[in-house]
Structure 1
Amino acid sequence: GATMANTNATVAREAHPSPKPEGKMHSLSKGGATLVWSGSVWWVGDFPCVWTSLSTRQSSRWDHGIIPRILLMKPLCALFLLTLHDSVNQVSQQGTVVSNNISLQPDDVICGQSTNLSDYHPGNIRYRSTIARLQSAYQSNRRGSQQAEVVQEVLDVIFGTGGRFLIKVDKEKEPPTWDLAPQATYLEKIKKALRRK
């Protein structure tokens, strides 16, 4: 992946990007790009910013043509946007994401009680495979910082391909309607799965 040292990037920085903005929608314009908070995720256009560790200095990639490369520090910390300037402008002009207007994609992870849909959805299958691969590392590390790194690795796998954690909004409606799962919900889901014997 591109690094801060070798990419011509525009850096947008917000010291404290309102981890819990009022309401479901909140915008932040920096460096020629518009970031929108929807649910528990910052978005540039139709693409979610990826939570990752600043120390890795790695940017995220999506195979959808001209997509911004995004680096975001861990939650509650400073917001960093690293991207090629033209790419960010092109994507940000596509509009913003509106909560409750989200379609389920193959890389998404469905949160909530197990159902036939979540059991066989490709994103959930990949999520369970990732959990199985990292369980021993999580359980063998007693230090909170080490366990947090394992949780972060799970997030990197899901978010690295543009996946999201989703919850069903109206369980009676067909086809289902979806919303972004709150950060606390999907973090607890991951930790609980990693602790399971």
Structure 2
Amino acid sequence: MKATYLLVAFLALASFASAFDPRPLQDFCVAVPDDSSSKDADPGNADNKLGSKATPVTVNQMPGLNTLGISLARVDFGPKGLIPPHTHPRATEILTVIEGTLLVGFVTSNNQNNTNRLFTKVLNKGDVFVFPLGLIHFQVNIGNGNALAIAALNSQNPGVITIANAVFGSTPPISPEILAKAFQVDYKVINYLRKQFSYDNN
């Protein structure tokens, strides 16, 4: 009987899945000679309807990051520019403001009262803020000039899911009946929103 309990406990642990990067099997991975182990971080063009541009530096852009479990993003904001609500399914993000003033925030997952709490903060040059893994978060430039921030993430490929694009711009699209019921709105609203969310500023 005791052996059966131990076997069940072992199988339960063995089936545990993790979304984090695996522990590296080596200290580092040298990039192939044709690839650069460094990248220029030129200003991103924030002249778009969101007024922002996120320029990622993941293992896809810099192979030398392979096995290191880190990545970066340069985030350029025009006046009033916005990085819309999004998540990183595989990483916690730490944001440092280089220039300008940002309003940032994240929303907690459901707690026992079935509520989602919003945490926000105004950040100025030199300020730092942490967005926990997988939580919906955003950044908006509340200054009149341009702003710049650097995001560091603890995954070589953190992923990004922009909420509005994922819900209203998926291919194939989510059924309008599902979205209308989920958001408690008319189908016309869903059709209107679908036309708006085909843009990605990453």
For the criterion TM > 0.5, the same-fold answer is: no
More strand by share: 2
Normalised TM-score (structure 2): 0.26
Rg bigger for which structure? Answer: 2
Structure richer in helix, relative to its length: 1
